A and B are shown apart, each in its own frame.
Chain A
Amino acid sequence: MHAIIDTLANLPDLVGLTQITVLVIGVAVGVVIGALPGVGPLLGTVMAVPFTFGMDPVSSLALLMGIYQGGSYGGALSASIVGIPGTPMAAATMLDARPMAVAGRASEAVTLSTIGSSFGGIVSALVLIAVAPSLATIALKFGPAETAALALLGLTTLGALAGGSPVRGWLMGMFGLLIATIGLDPVTGVSRFTFGSVYLDSGLTLVPLLVGLFGISEVLIQLERPVRAKDATTNVAASIAAFRSVIVRPINYLRSSLTGVFIGILPGVGGVTASFLAYRFAMPFRKKADPEFGRGNPDGVVASETANSAVTGGALIPMLALSIPGDPIVAVLMGGLMLQGIAPGPRLFLNHPEVVQGVFAVFLLGAIVLLPIGLIFIRAIVHILRLPQWSIMASVVMISMIGTYSVSRQILDLAALLVFGAIGYVLRKGNYPLSPVVIGFVLGPIFEANYRRTGLISQGDLLGYIATRPITMAVLAAVVVAIVLPLVRPRVTKPQVGADSAG
């Protein structure tokens, strides 16, 4: 609390007009980059690094963090309006944002995403400011054993996200796990399922998989049966409904924020996991008046978007306090800091308190300005709804291909994009949910590498080793609960089919 008051009191000294201008530019650029399928905040921050060379440390971080914050949110816009998650983190958002938009609540869905993102960002900023150094030690408590257990917990959401057909969810999760094994084995380095292809050595990557699975398949589905996002209400009514949600569902906002911050602190877990976990945590608390989850429940949108934005502040904690970057974007931010001659780590807080405070202040402001910037973008983006369908779909294909190519500059990624487009189309026709593929694909490698490292570290006595790790035991207990509970609890909800094939 003391630190928060300090930062707020010193705000005018810490942040000047330059920093605010740079920050606003960063957030706005981030939103656009996040909304475009394929390109995301990682590419955005990488491309922005050269622009920071002449800046002071706080301004350079303002630009990079702004892109990170804006980009983490931008994906929700394309998820709602065109049915394609602009970033992997928006895949969980889309589960409900898209059905809401199709049901005529497009503005409300995107406004909810904006409020959630801003809320999650602000909570994570406050946590960052208040307790960064002490919370950073959590990152150190999560070694390979704990991370593997947590990935397992994430995988238990597979059945629940399949819209009433757990078997299909598990099946698709298995598919995700399977294709994630392509590439170099994380422990022996042997090539698996690569058929001698150098391209496959580094494994399939998330961007062509996601954009193909959701984006290209969406276009194919629309060719047969156009489904449009609609805006039946006025902007004002939608905004009022969305803002009211903060008062009506404060627990969801808070719970999802804290989930995001916690997952963000852990190295190598990331925003995709956080948004799906927060979504899963929100499911038992469905309000009776709301639609089912997966059919346009506002709580689903709020949970996912709040959590994936809260990850940003969480991820800065171990980077600043221990110089451990939890994800590739934060690694770029760290690179930006080090280019300024400032090494993160425990001594950063002693040697450069002004930089730490400045970074905190800028981050908090970024989360705050995201709200107005997001609302302005919404006004612009809902105009897309008035364009003819053919023009939207043609642009989607073009932008998806350019976006995917620009990330890796590998032509074979476009082939992967089209193959996953075809796979996505077939799966949707068969009413198989797509989100579990993403979860399996993201969590599989995290689980495998860490589980096998745990095996090596335990030197043959895996159970004995786990018994000495209380956090691992606790997380594994949660895994058991997550698997057993749905089996023993009488099912109150009616089964429903094809959660994310609705769009």
Chain B
Amino acid sequence: MTATDPGDRKPGDAADISSRGGPRATLTPALTVTASLLGLCLLWSLAANAWPSRAFPGPGQAWQVLLREAASGDLFYHLGATLGRVAAAYVVAMIVGSVIGILLGSYRGADRFFNPWVILFLNIPALVIIVLAYIWFGLNEVAAIGAVAVNKIPNVVVTMREGARALDPSYAEMAAVYRFGPLDRVRHILLPQLQPYLAAASRSGIALIWKIVLVVELLGRSNGVGFQIYLYFQLFDVAAILAYTLAFVAVMLVIELLLVQPVERHATRWRRRPA
């Protein structure tokens, strides 16, 4: 009967074409990324050769350390410890931050009252929170993860507050008329509308969290990438510091490619153009 009008058709058709050109369209970006990374490595090794110093090892040396640490199992032990802390802090920060952010975005009075608190916490340096957490709660895992989460929560609050302010009331009214249950409202009305904001908070969150986790490990933990970096800093072993850094960056890249992007693709499948 009435099909989509011609004006609406165009984006869909464009998407068809790009997906039909499949292998080449997906291969070209991958090649570009590989070439770009190889170029960076080349530049690094040229610079290391031009300025030979123990403080600036080339990619080959870093790779050797990486293989040695991997063979002994140390690499995976410390990567795992850091990854666990990142995951725990991320989950806590996203849940607590989202709940507070949605509440502040929904109730103007509460927002006016608590906004100064949000600004205050946004501006407390990460180091202060970490030190205070260790002093007050002791050098333990809960204090470490809590301190990282508290550092991230204000950012999540600010992003999710914007998301809650942008909620479309007509969907909530539809849900009220058709008597959606509370769970259905969260799953089918609230979360899909907040998805772009959740994605933004997640993206900036993971990067920030893992950097703060290293500081937490350096100051008060006896394992993790941060602890190892501090150890090799004292030994002045720059190759090992670079090896651990690159290993963790690689892990985060894999998470981004294999977890974050597919989840996002699934969440935005209803949009005609990938966001």
Do chains A and B interact in one complex? no
